[in-house]
Amino acid sequence: MTSEAKRRVLIVDDSALVRQVLSGILSRHPHLEVVGTAQDPYDARERIRELNPDVLTLDVEMPRMDGITFLGKLMKGHPMPAVMLSSLTAKGTDTALDALALGAVDVIGKPVLDQAAGLEAMGAEIAETVYAASLAQVFEQRPQAAIRPAALASLAQRAKAGRSLIAVGSSTGGTEALRQIFDAIPGNLPPIVVVQHMLPGFTNAFAERLDRSSQARVKMALDGEALKPGTVYFAPSDTHMAVARRGAGLVALLKGGDRVSRHLPSVDVLFDSVADDCGAHAMGVILTGMGDDGSRGLLRMRQKGAHTLGQDEASCVVYGMPRAAWMRGAVAEQAALSVIPSRMVAWCERES
């Protein structure tokens, strides 16, 4: 493919109106071309064979076969990048997380009322999401081996609450990467703070799902909350998260404001604060994602003595954020997703 070639998109939705609106939105993107539409999964199956698209958008609720069932079949027989359209409801949010677990690259929240106007209002974001997905690597979903907590029984006693901290930033493809990491690590590491770029309304449900499967506690951060070992704290949607030292410990600080590095919450905001308040007693991890959010803050962390780790290209869904950090000199070590949990544990053992 030349640098001028456009990425080919197939739109799968039972609503003629949504197909029309999405076609217009995506066709305006300079690097996307809508090569076809389909009204249901059976139609989509034939169109995929005929058109060989680079990416498809896939509605969740469709007649004859729902989008989740079709996605599962697609990832087994013809894996390819897919972006799900899911309603912004409690049920829709849970279904969207199921789609991400099955291998969907990202999710677009579809408005329940006045869909045409709602989609148009999100047009630029939708187009960038689909473009990022078109560049993604799609992997076979495999279970991640957990690190045996018995092998680290003394770590909980040796971890110094209030001193050590792990900060993680991720975007496109990050939900599955984070799931694999937090399903593998023991529940007695220092506090972990996370910025994951997600649609508003999805982050809380994602944290709750991780909490059910992880040995560590996983929750949404609260403003002024003391950070405790054995706990993972997620930045809420549309809110920057930073850390600050209060006495002998660390607390989370939440604030609104403008986008930084094109994001709210921003990984750079988090990493900058960790550099200032934790210095060499922190570890920074940057995972799969489009763009360069986090690269500047991670460089500051490294300059202040923190250990910095980037996900390698081969295991990234989108090697954007880790690449930008690597090129900037912010990453001390690159590693495959499968070994990042053990790298985190090894750093904690040294830090203790």
> How many whole angstroms separate alpha carbon 114 and alpha carbon 316?
36
DSSP alpha helix (H) spans, the chain: 16-27, 41-51, 67-77, 90-102, 115-121, 123-134, 155-158, 174-184, 203-213, 267-278, 295-303, 321-327, 340-351
Residue 195's closest CA among 169, 174, 175, 219?
A: 169
* 78 catalytically annotated: no
Annotation marks residue 171 as catalytic: yes
User: Are the beta carbons of 233 and 227 closer than 8 angstroms?
Assistant: yes
Residues whose CB falls within 8 Å of the CB of residue 132, separated by 6 or more in sequence, listed in order: 105, 106, 172, 290, 318, 320
Query: Are 294 and 268 in contact, with CB atoms under 8 Å apart?
Result: yes
Residue 110 near residue 77, CB atoms below 8 Å: no
Instruction: Retrieve residue 309's tokens.
Output: 């780790």
Q: What is the dihedral of CA 114, 118, 120, 121, to 10 degrees?
A: 140
Residue 45: CB atoms within 10 A of its CB come to 18
Tokens, residue 85: 């359209």
> What would the two tokens of residue 115 be?
């869909």
Catalytic, 261? Answer: no
Q: What does the alpha-carbon distance between residue 227 and residue 252 come to, in Å, rounded to a whole number?
A: 7
Catalytic residue among 87, 164, 171, 214: 171
Kindly name the residue from 293, 307, 312, 315 that is annotated as catalytic.
293
In angstroms, the first-to-last Cα distance of the chain is 49
- Please give the positions annotated as active site: 171, 197, 293
